[in-house]
Structure formats: structure tokens, C-alpha cells
């Protein structure tokens, strides 16, 4: 997409005070996508959440590796009694232990892995949401830039009309009321143009904010508003299952299912092995050596109370059932929202064809009405109606272009298209 030289010149004229202090930057849609990928704090936060989930998984995994835990200790004590004098005791101990089987540890590891997957889905959803917001801001800036040109055209139309009425009034062929009305319309058009310039500045600030810029820099969006392509041959029922919010809800069901498994793990014993060597004596390097080797099977019968497991398991199952209902609701909402968004997009595409035809007709009628009005074959009221139709059609077409592009961004967002695609 490119921006014309005349448009850039207009932008420089619109912001003389700002342009004198800061350099105006021209941005393409590709530029807008690359900037927040590097610096946007929202995306940075989601990336950190993903990294945190990964590190938690690696930490949990390291606890389940087939390596024993090793420990070494060296102690000294001095003690005595009434019947014997004081004595020194030295002790050196080496120990190794390893958990051979723990259902709870395995369930914890699975939950950590599923949390990593969920964090990745959340990042994808954030990228899709960021793309929608950023593209909407980019479209809004393109619209604001184009609207200034449209409003300048309307001012020119109103100015020409006022000049024509003044000439006819001076020749005694027009009323003072019609003259005053055209002057008021010209004044209103100039007010609308000034408002469009203020809207342009707001659109620039909106885009720079979405880009994550700490300092405001005037920007020009490089491109044109065009009618987007429709989304065809889309299986809504299938596509809805891939929407990030639905995928995230499904991951929640899987996580809570694993938590049910984790609660059941309280009923399984923990099998561990241990081995140790020790040296004891009265010297600093004792020579009295002893060893130990054993297996331990721990089976909690009334861990945290006799009804703890029953209630904890019931709670986990209840939470899982709620997650399942939330997932079902998310799927239904996704299908409905996607269907509505597609319908809105298709309607906007259909409507803009008619709006374009009406604009071309309004332009043609206006050019014809000028001749008829000046020649006296058309009344002022009819001529004014034709002019109002042209002014309205110019603004309606531009607004329709903006609406159809924003409708497309809504569809893309629901489909989970991320920033960068």
C-alpha cells in the first residue's frame, strides 16, 4: 500500500506546530505489526507468563528424574555425665534417597505441562487481540486522513454554492434567506473540517499508543482503504473449535481433569529407596563405619483427616464439571459470534457496492444541477437537495469503507489470526 505525495503534503500542512518540533513518521501496516512485537508491554507480559510456566514445568520435571538425592553431613558434639567426664563425638554421614513411585508427583508434572500449553494459547489470543486493536487503529488513521480530503471537497462545494448564490442575490434573482443559508452551510463545513483535523490527531495518538510508544510522534498511515475480500467456504462449526478462547477453555477442562487425577493420587502409596554410610568416633576422622539400605512404602490412611480425600475429590470433580460447562458455553458463543461477524462482513461488502453507485450518481446529478440552477430551470430547494445528497454520499461512502474493514478485522480476530499474519 502507498500514500500519495499530495496526501503527505496535506498532513504536513495540518500539523505545522507539531511538525516543527517533531519529525512525522510514515508507517505501513507491516511497520505497525513489527513494532509491538518487540516493545508492547502487554505482549511482553504474556511472553513472561509462558516462560514462567515453562520453568515451572522444568523444575517439576527435574524432581522426577531417575537420579537419587544426595546429602553429606559432618557433625561434632561434646557431652558428659555425672559419672563420666566430658567426651567428644565426631560423625560423618553420606546419604542417598530416591522416590521410586509417586502418583501425585506424576500428576503434578502433567498439570505443569498442560499449564505451559495453556500459557501458549493465551499468548496466541493476545497476539490476535493485539492485531485487531492495532489494525482498527491503523484503519481509523487511514479514515481520518481520507476524511480531511473529503471535508475539504465539501468546503469547496459549499464555497462554490455560496459564491453562486451571492451572484444571483446581487442580480436580484435569489432571496436573502437562501443566501444566509448557504453562508451557514459553508461555515458548518469549515467547522467540520476543523473537527476532522482534531480527529486526525486523536487517531495518531491512538495508533502510537497501541504501538507502545512512550513519546508521541506524529505518524502518517501509508495505504488506502479498500473493500476487503469476503471469507468464503468456512466451516463455522469446525472453525469455532480453533478460536483461542475456545481452545483455552478446553485446556482448562484438561487441567481440572488432571487435578481430579491428582486428588486420587492421595490414595496411592509412595515408594522410596534409601542408602547411607556413616562414620562415628572420638577422633576427627572416625573409623567406626556403619551402613544402611532400605525401602519405604508410605500409605496415608487418614491424611489431613478421615474425610479429606472424599471431600477434596468431590471438589475437584465439581470444578471440572464447571469447566466442562464453561467450555460448552464458549463453543456455543464462538459459533454464534463467528456467524454474526461473517454476516456483518458480507452485509457490509454488499452494501458498499450500492453506496458506491449512489455516490457516482450523486456526483453526476450535482454536475448536471449546477447548469440547470444557473440557467433558472431548477429551483433553489431542488438544487440544495442535490447538493446535500452529494455531501451525504461522500461521507457515507468513506464511513462504509471504514466499517467494512473493521468488520473484517473482527472476523480475523475471532479466527485467532495473530499479529504478523
Structural element, H or E, at residue 270: strand 270-281
The pLDDT assigned to 9 comes to 40
Q: Does residue 384 lie within any of the structural domains?
A: yes
Q: Distances in Å between the alpha carbon of 178 and those of 151, 207, 318? A: 22, 43, 75
On whether residue 402 sits in a domain, the answer given is: yes
Output the tens digit of pLDDT for each of the chain's 421 residues: 334 434 434 443 444 443 444 567 888 888 887 765 555 666 667 677 777 767 676 666 666 555 566 777 777 677 766 566 667 777 877 767 666 666 667 777 777 788 888 888 888 888 888 888 889 999 999 999 999 999 999 999 999 989 988 888 888 888 899 899 999 999 999 999 999 999 999 999 998 888 877 778 888 998 888 999 888 888 999 999 988 889 989 988 988 888 888 777 767 666 677 777 777 776 666 777 777 777 776 666 666 666 777 787 888 889 889 999 999 999 999 999 999 999 999 999 999 999 999 999 999 999 888 888 877 888 888 888 999 999 999 999 999 999 999 999 999 988 888 876 6
CATH code, 240: 1.20.1600.10
Residue 288: inside a domain, yes or no?
no
Quote the pLDDT of residue 129.
Answer: 84
Burial of 365 (0-12, 13-18, 19+ CB in 10 A): middle
As given in the structure block, the three cell numbers for residue 236 are 463455522
Residue 316 lies in a domain: yes
How far is the C-alpha of 181 from the C-alpha of 164, rounded, in Å? 13
160 lies in some domain: yes
- Rounded Cα distance between 27 and 37, Å, is 15
Q: Give the chain's domain count.
A: 1
* Angle (nearest 5°) at CA 237 between 231 and 239: 50
Neighbours of 373 (CB within 10 A): 21
Cα–Cα distance list, 3 to 8, 9, 19, 224, 225 (Å): 7, 11, 18, 7, 11
* Residue 26 domain flag: yes
Q: What pLDDT does 145 receive?
A: 93
Domain annotation covers residue 342: yes
Q: Which three cell numbers stand for residue 4?
A: 500519495
Q: How high is the pLDDT of residue 16?
A: 42
What is the structure's pLDDT at 111?
Answer: 79
Q: Are 115 and 56 in contact (CB under 8 A)?
A: yes
**Separation in Å, CA 35 to CA 131, 207, 225:** 12, 11, 22
- 317: in domain: yes
- Its domain, for residue 25, covers 5-67+102-268+304-414
Residue 363, pLDDT score: 92
Amino acid at each position: 500500500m502507498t500514500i500519495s505525495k499530495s496526501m503527505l503534503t496535506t498532513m504536513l500542512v495540518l500539523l505545522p506546530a507539531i511538525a516543527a518540533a517533531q519529525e512525522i513518521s510514515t508507517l505501513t501496516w507491516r511497520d505497525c505489526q513489527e513494532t509491538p512485537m518487540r516493545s508492547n508491554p502487554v505482549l511482553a507480559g504474556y511472553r513472561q507468563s509462558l516462560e514462567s510456566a515453562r520453568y515451572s514445568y522444568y523444575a517439576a520435571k527435574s524432581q522426577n528424574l531417575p537420579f537419587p538425592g544426595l546429602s553429606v553431613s559432618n557433625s561434632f558434639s561434646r557431652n558428659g555425665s555425672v559419672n563420666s567426664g566430658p567426651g567428644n563425638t565426631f560423625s560423618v554421614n553420606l546419604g542417598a534417597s530416591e522416590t521410586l513411585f509417586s502418583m501425585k508427583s506424576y500428576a503434578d508434572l502433567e498439570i505443569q505441562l498442560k499449564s505451559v500449553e495453556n500459557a501458549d494459547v493465551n499468548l496466541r489470543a493476545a497476539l490476535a487481540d493485539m492485531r485487531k486493536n492495532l489494525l482498527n487503529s491503523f484503519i481509523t488513521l487511514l479514515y481520518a486522513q481520507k476524511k480531511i480530503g473529503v471535508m475539504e471537497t465539501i468546503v469547496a462545494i459549499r464555497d462554490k454554492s455560496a459564491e453562486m448564490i451571492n451572484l444571483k442575490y446581487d442580480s436580484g434573482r435569489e432571496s436573502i434567506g437562501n443566501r444566509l443559508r448557504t453562508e451557514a452551510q459553508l461555515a458548518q463545513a469549515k467547522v467540520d473540517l476543523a473537527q476532522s483535523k482534531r480527529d486526525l490527531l486523536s487517531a495518531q495518538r491512538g495508533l502510537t499508543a497501541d504501538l507502545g510508544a512512550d513519546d508521541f510522534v506524529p505518524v502518517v498511515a501509508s495505504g488506502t482503504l479498500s473493500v476487503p475480500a469476503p471469507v468464503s467456504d468456512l466451516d463455522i462449526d469446525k472453525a469455532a473449535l480453533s478460536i483461542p478462547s475456545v481452545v483455552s477453555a478446553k485446556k482448562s477442562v484438561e487441567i481440572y481433569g488432571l487435578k481430579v487425577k491428582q486428588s486420587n493420587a492421595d490414595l496411592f502409596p509412595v515408594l522410596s529407596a534409601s542408602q547411607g554410610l556413616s562414620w562415628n568416633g572420638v577422633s576427627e576422622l572416625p573409623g567406626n563405619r556403619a551402613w544402611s539400605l532400605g525401602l519405604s512404602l508410605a500409605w496415608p490412611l487418614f491424611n489431613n483427616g478421615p474425610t479429606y480425600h472424599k471431600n477434596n475429590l468431590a471438589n475437584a470433580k465439581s470444578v471440572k464439571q464447571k469447566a466442562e460447562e464453561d467450555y460448552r458455553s464458549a463453543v456455543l458463543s464462538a459459533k454464534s459470534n463467528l456467524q454474526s461477524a461473517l454476516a456483518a462482513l458480507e452485509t457490509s461488502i454488499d452494501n458498499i457496492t450500492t453506496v458506491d453507485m449512489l455516490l457516482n450518481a450523486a456526483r453526476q446529478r450535482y454536475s448536471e444541477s449546477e447548469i440547470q440552477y444557473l440557467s433558472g430551470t431548477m429551483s433553489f430547494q431542488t438544487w440544495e437537495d442535490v447538493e446535500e445528497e452529494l455531501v451525504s454520499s461522500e461521507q457515507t461512502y468513506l464511513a462504509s469503507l471504514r466499517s467494512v474493514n473493521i468488520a473484517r478485522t473482527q472476523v480475523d480476530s475471532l479466527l485467532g489470526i495473530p499479529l504478523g499474519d
